[in-house]
């Protein structure tokens, strides 16, 4: 059994990673179609050892496509995902356009796989925000063990989370600083090279940013609506890999040793926690990896049943493309999708 898969946004950061991961994991494809905007028509992208010519989204007929992984931003998704879904093609969307829609499941396979069955309502499945995906992978097993009451998280998010323009801006600005040239600020609100910016997405009325709000809403939707969470989201001059300093207050007692043992066994998690120089993961080491890495696990004696930890993952993989491919795998494993075209 194999599926015709369309990758929308195939020339972007997430789309390219999506093609890599579909190939690496041997997802059963009969055909892969690379789609992007008219700007990229005719350019080429790699899929394993094959080269795909990029076609335009608005000229593609989805009637014989089984799965569409969509990574082209919220506006493109709002316009296209419902139309594609109506053609009987399951959309796995990386944007925030449908994440908070009650008729659209928001899925991290290690966390809430059973919620996927809801997808038939619109034929759309949402992928969470990159900073939420890695956080819930680490929180879920701890919540099961000791029930989380409250989480305080500060993120250190790489520029690739802002797309290919974000990566270009860090590169260009860094070079400009070294050659004593003028530094242009276009994509971010302030210079990102040799700086950090406590602002991701738009400001809301209460002073939080939309990125911070997303972490609250998505954690509640996927893990438990009773969990209280507050976030500060910060952009840092790192190309790939989001880091998070996480403080958790539990209902029940849990020691750092117990948490370490639980996380060692938990799906998608990898613990690297030696209390010595370099005995922890940094974003550089997470790039290209599938795991959510957890380090610096320690008890916080300033609250009852408190733990602090450091969580790092490749935002383009678990934060986006890997999670989307895992969702596609879940559809196949559970027999929730059948290829439209039978193999000859
Ligand atoms: N980066 C992350 O860590 C991350 C994590 C989770 C979710 N996401 C989400 O994933 C999506 C893509 O992010 P990205 O980082 O890959 O952005 P990106 O590098 O800027 O790539 C954007 C992609 O969308 C395509 N696109 C833009 N307008 C289009 C249109 N009108 N029709 C068809 N294709 C169009 C672009 O094609 P052209 O090359 O033709 O312009 C490009 O392939 C966003 O919704 C983002 O929020 C990103």
| pLDDT tens-digit series, residues 282-297 | 999 999 999 999 999 9
Please give the pLDDT value at position 342.
Answer: 65
State the closest ligand 1 atom to the C-alpha of 160, by its place in the atom list counted from 1. Answer: 1
**Residue 92: how many CB atoms within 10 A of its CB?**
25
Residue nearest to atom 4 of ligand 1 (CA): 161
The Cβ-side half-sphere exposure at 18, using a 13 Å CA radius, reads 33
**Tokens 């990029």 appear where?**
54
36 CA distance to ligand 1 centroid (A)? 9
pLDDT at 215 exceeding the cut of 70: yes
Task: Establish whether 130 is a catalytic residue.
Answer: yes
Please give the pLDDT value at position 343.
Answer: 53
Which residue, 325, 266, 334, is CA-closest to 68?
Answer: 325
pLDDT at 344 exceeding the cut of 70: no
Residue nearest to atom 36 of ligand 1 (CA): 9
Residue 341's pLDDT band, with cuts at 50, 70 and 90, is confident
217 CA distance to ligand 1 centroid (A)? 22
pLDDT at 116 exceeding the cut of 70: yes
pLDDT digits (tens, 9 = 90+) for 220-255: 999 999 999 999 999 999 999 999 999 999 999 999
Percentage of the chain lying above the pLDDT 90 cut? 99
pTM, rounded to two decimals:
0.96
- For the chain, the average pLDDT equals 97
pLDDT at 168 exceeding the cut of 70: yes
pLDDT digits (tens, 9 = 90+) for 16-44: 999 999 999 999 999 999 999 999 999 99
Chain-centre distance for alpha carbon 152: 20
Whether 55 lines ligand 1, by a CB cut-off of 6 Å, is no
Length of the chain: 344
State the closest ligand 1 atom to the C-alpha of 8, by its place in the atom list counted from 1. Answer: 34
Q: Which of 42, 45, 71 is the best mutation target for the ligand 1 pocket, counting ligand atoms within 8 Å of the beta carbon and taking the most?
A: 71
Residue 117 among known ligand-binding residues: no
Residue 14 among known ligand-binding residues: yes
Task: Establish whether 242 is a catalytic residue.
Answer: yes
Distance, CA of 246 to CA of 119 (rounded, Å): 31
Chain-centre distance for alpha carbon 83: 24
73 CA distance to ligand 1 centroid (A)? 5
Distance, CA of 313 to CA of 132 (rounded, Å): 11
Whether 295 lines ligand 1, by a CB cut-off of 6 Å, is no
277 CA distance to ligand 1 centroid (A)? 38
Whether 68 lines ligand 1, by a CB cut-off of 6 Å, is no
């Amino acid at each position: 059994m194999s599926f015709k898969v369309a990758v929308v946004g195939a020339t972007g950061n997430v789309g390219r990673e999506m093609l890599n991961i579909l190939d690496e994991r041997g997802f059963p494809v009969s055909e892969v179609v690379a789609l992007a905007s008219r700007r990229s028509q005719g350019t080429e992208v790699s899929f394993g050892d094959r080269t795909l010519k990029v076609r335009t989204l608005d000229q593609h007929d989805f009637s014989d496509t089984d799965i569409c992984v969509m990574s082209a931003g919220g506006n493109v998704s709002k316009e296209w995902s419902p139309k594609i879904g109506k053609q009987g093609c399951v959309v796995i969307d990386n944007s925030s356009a449908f994440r908070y829609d009650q008729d659209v499941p928001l899925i991290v396979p290690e966390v809430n796989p059973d919620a996927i069955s809801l997808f038939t309502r619109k034929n759309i499945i949402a992928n969470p925000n990159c900073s939420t995906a890695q956080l819930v992978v680490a929180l879920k097993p701890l919540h099961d063990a000791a029930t989380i009451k409250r989480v305080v998280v500060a993120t250190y998010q790489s520029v690739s989370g802002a797309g290919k323009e974000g990566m270009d801006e860090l590169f260009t600005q860094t070079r400009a600083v070294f050659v004593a040239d003028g530094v242009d600020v276009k994509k971010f609100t302030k210079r990102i090279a040799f700086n950090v910016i406590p602002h991701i997405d738009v400001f809301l009325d209460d002073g939080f940013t939309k990125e911070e709000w997303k972490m609250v809403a998505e954690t509640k939707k996927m893990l438990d609506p009773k969990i209280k969470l507050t976030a500060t989201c910060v952009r840092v001059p790192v190309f790939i890999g989001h880091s998070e300093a996480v403080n958790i207050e539990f209902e029940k007692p849990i020691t750092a040793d117990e948490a370490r043992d639980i996380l060692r066994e938990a799906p998608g998690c990898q613990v690297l926690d030696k209390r010595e120089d370099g005995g922890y993961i940094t974003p550089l080491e997470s790039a290209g990896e599938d795991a959510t890495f957890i380090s610096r696990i320690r008890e916080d004696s300033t609250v009852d049943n408190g733990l602090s930890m450091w969580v790092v993952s490749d935002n383009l993989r678990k934060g986006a493309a890997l999670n989307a491919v895992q969702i596609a795998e879940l559809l196949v494993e559970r027999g929730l999708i059948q290829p439209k075209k039978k193999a000859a």
